[in-house]
Amino acid sequence: MRTMAETLADYPFFAGLDDEAMALVAGCATNVHLAADEFLFREGEPAERFFLVRQGRVALELHAPGQGRVVLDTADDGDVVGWSWLVPPYRWFTDARAVVPTSATAIDGACLRGKCDQDPVLGYQLLQRVAVVMYARLQAARVRMLDLYAAPGGSRV
């Protein structure tokens, strides 16, 4: 059986963290397994955790009258899901649904926030990593806003 610290070390997200920091993070982590179509979280719920996808696929979705459910983004092996745990009011902005049977590592956000408050060096290292993920997702969202593959002059959807 692998230790949680070993499991965490496989995620690119944590690459470069020292053993002490990994041990702190591992103290807040649990492994979860989801069946296909099971939700990790729902829009509006308190955001107490975030997830790293070990194997599987998670879709971030919103539903809108007339449009049904729309998939905003997907997270695959190694990807991070959720940063609402880090930003007030700590509530999920979207739904997160396992598209296929998915195993993931859940990190207790409230626990980690507390540790980061006590240890600003750890906090900075984690925030740097979250910033990279957020930046990539924001960039991708901006480019997708251009709807580059749309027919010229055509309407979206």
Partner 1 sequence: MSESAQEASADLDALVATGLAGLVPRPFRVDRSRRETADTVTLTLAPVTGGSLEFAAGQFTMLGVPGVGEVPISISGDPTWPDALQHTVRDVGGVSHAIASARAGDVLTVRGPFGTGWGVGDGEGGDVLIVAGGIGLAPLRPALLELLAHRHRYRTVTLLYGARTPQDILFAEELAGWRGRFDLEVELSVDYAPPSWRGRVGLVTALIASVAPEQTLALVCGPEVMMRFVTTELLHRGVPAGQIRLSMERAMSCGVGLCGHCQLRELFVCLDGPVFRADRVLGLMAVEEL
Using rule CB under 8 A, residue 103 touches partner 1: no
Chain residues 21-80 in contact with partner 1, contact rule CB under 8 A: 57, 59, 61, 68-74, 76
If residue 124 lies in a helix (H) or strand (E), which one and from where to where? helix 120-145
Cβ neighbours around 137 below 10 Å, total: 17
13 binds partner 1 (CB under 8 A): no
Q: How far is the CB of 62 from partner 1 (least distance, A)?
A: 11
Question: Is residue 149 a contact residue for partner 1 (CB under 8 A)?
Answer: yes
What is the C-alpha to C-alpha distance for residues 38 and 135, in angstroms, rounded to an integer?
27
Closest to 40 (Cα-Cα) out of 86, 107, 89, 130: 107
Among the listed ranges 13-21, 108-116, 118-126, 143-151, the one in contact with partner 1 (CB under 8 A) is: 143-151
The dihedral over CA atoms of 87, 118, 11, 94, expressed in degrees to the nearest 10, equals -20
| Interaction of residue 152 with partner 1, rule CB under 8 A | yes
Q: Which of 3, 4, 21, 5 is nearest to 128 (CA)?
A: 21
Name the minimum Å distance from CB 71 to partner 1: 5
Q: Which residues would be at the binding site for partner 1 (CB under 8 A)?
A: 57, 59, 61, 68-74, 76, 97, 99-100, 136, 139-140, 143-144, 146-152, 156-157
